[in-house]
Amino acid sequence: MTALRTPICDLLNIDYPVFQAGMGWVARADLVAAVSAAGGLGCIGAGSTTDADELRAEIRGVRAQTDQPFAVDILFATVASKVDEAVRYTDKVMAMVDVVFEERVPVLISGLGSPRDAVAGARERGIKVMSVVGAVRHAEKAVADGVDAVIASGSDGGGHVGSIGTAALIPAVVDAVDVPVLAGGGLADGRGLLAALSFGAQGVWMGTRFIATQEARAHENYKQKIAETDTAGTVVTRAHSGKTCRLIRNAFTDSWAGREAEIEPYPLQGMHVGHPASQRGRIEGDVENGVLPAGQSSGLIGGVPKAGEVVQTIMAEADAVLSKLTAA
């Protein structure tokens, strides 16, 4: 048993504090099962599934490959009711939450928005709830809403990001809340895991590192592009969805430079521009004209191994570094 096992491992019944982010489009059954089977926690990205039936199929696809715990990441989008103007989850979100409950998925994660109204139902079924946050106030709100843990993701990461860097965000969130904290944003190896633990986090939340794996549902061109991109090869833009998002710089991102006034508000920009561009980049492999979310940790990634090997390598690296640091 590794000396790096943390309390959240016991909470979720996993071996290692390595968590695969619930990335849209690419985090599907094969990747999730591989990470969980290796001792980490894999996570299905439900945001890009078409409906509840597709999500259910992905959940059952994980269970067909492993009996280890895993998670589902839902984007808790809301709408105002025309009847009383109360804010409620969209029908799609509610249907996906129902599937998570029916299938008794061990962990429910909110990648966007508040899971508050799902917490009680999750707790009744023994399901743990976590929220991704990008600021201290968001973490405090999530804890007030009843989550079991928060995932603090810094602006170094890929996909939708806030404005606070990982090195400042993680210890600030740890100091502010009394639940376990995971660290995300620009972390890709065992050194990143140790850094996260030193900041007071109990594990790492990694997205970009797991996109560049054999099991990820992404075009090989996208995976190789991550491996070829250095730490300065990404940009933050609203061109994908209307919200700030870190992408690999390419013809798509360059084409929107100076045209920020044309970007529609979220979620219209994503519907009209980002979703088709995501299909081109992530699935069809057009790495110049498509959307390619990736963090600054791309510069630490040099290949496309199996996901289970990534988990094992991260733990081996962390153990080796810790041994050097503690050597007499």
> What pLDDT shows up at residue 7?
97
Domain boundary among 186, 217, 248: 217
Angle of the 190-198 helix axis to the 307-326 helix axis, nearest 10: 60
DSSP state at residue 263? P
User: Which is more confident, 14 or 86?
Assistant: 14
Output the pLDDT for position 82.
Answer: 54
Does one domain contain both 235 and 211? no
- Among residues 170, 166, 132, the alpha carbon closest in space to that of 149 is found at 132
Note whether residue 254 is domain-resident: yes
Arithmetic mean of pLDDT, 195-217 = 98
| 212 and 235 part of one domain | no
Look at residue 138 and tell me if it is in a domain: yes
CA distance 30 to 181: 26
Average pLDDT of the segment spanning 227-256: 97
Show the domain range for 195: 7-217
pLDDT at 81 over 70: no
Give residue-wise pLDDT tens across range 166-190.
999 999 999 999 999 999 999 999 9
Residue ending a domain, choose from 160, 189, 217: 217
Q: What is d(CA 103, CA 89) in angstroms, rounded to the nearest whole number?
A: 20
pLDDT at 85: 54
Statement to judge: residues 284 and 166 lie in one domain: no
**66 in a structural domain:** yes
Q: Which amino acid is at 313?
A: T
Please indicate, yes or no, whether residues 280 and 201 belong to a single structural domain of this protein.
Answer: no
In this prediction, residue 2 carries a pLDDT of 61
CATH code for the domain of 192: 3.20.20.70
Mean of the per-residue pLDDT values for the chain? 95
Whether residue 195 is found in the same domain as residue 281: no
The domain total for the chain is 2
Rounded to a whole number, what is the distance in angstroms from the first to the last CA of the chain?
A: 22
Query: pLDDT at residue 134 above 90?
Result: yes
**Is 326 domain-assigned?**
no
Segment holding 147, helix H or strand E: none
Q: Residue 165 in 3-state DSSP? A: coil
Query: Any idea which residue has 């109990």 for tokens?
Result: 202
Among the three residues 193, 217, 241, which one is the final residue of a domain in this structure?
217
Residue 328 has pLDDT above 70, yes or no: no
Higher pLDDT, 87 or 57: 57
User: Same domain for 131 and 22?
Assistant: yes
The partner residues of 42 in beta bridges, in order of sequence, read 70
DSSP annotation of 128: E
Residue 322, domain member (yes or no): no
Average pLDDT over residues 42-57: 94
Mean pLDDT on 251-264: 97
User: Are 149 and 210 within one domain?
Assistant: yes
User: Are residues 262 and 133 part of one domain?
Assistant: no
CA distance 315 to 296: 21
Residue 134 lies in a domain: yes
Under the banding of pLDDT at 50, 70 and 90, the label for residue 93 is very high
**Average pLDDT for 142-148:** 98
Q: Which of 41-50, 127-136, 193-202, 224-233 has the lowest mean pLDDT?
A: 41-50
Reported as a single tens digit per residue, the pLDDT across 288-319 is: 999 999 999 999 999 999 999 999 999 999 99
Rounded Cα–Cα distance for residues 275 and 240 (Å): 8
With tokens 């016991």, the residue in question is 10
The DSSP secondary structure of 29-78, one letter per residue, reads: HHHHHHHHHTTSBEEEEGGG-SSHHHHHHHHHHHHTT--S-EEEEEE--E
Are residues 185 and 36 part of one domain?
yes
Please indicate, yes or no, whether residues 143 and 112 belong to a single structural domain of this protein: yes
Residues 39 and 166 in one domain: yes
Q: Is the pLDDT of residue 1 over 50?
A: no
Is the bond leading into 267 cis (omega within 30 degrees of zero)? yes
> Strand 245-248 relative to strand 234-237: parallel, antiparallel, unpaired?
antiparallel
| Residues 192 and 236 placed together within one structural domain of the fold | no
Which one-letter DSSP state was computed for residue 177? Answer: -
Report the alpha-carbon distance of residue 295 to residue 88 in Å, rounded.
Answer: 32
How many percent of the chain have pLDDT more than 90?
92
The answer to whether residue 301 sits within a structural domain is no
Query: Is 80 exceeded by the pLDDT of residue 47?
Result: yes
Q: What is the pLDDT of residues 212-222, one digit of tens each?
A: 999 999 999 99
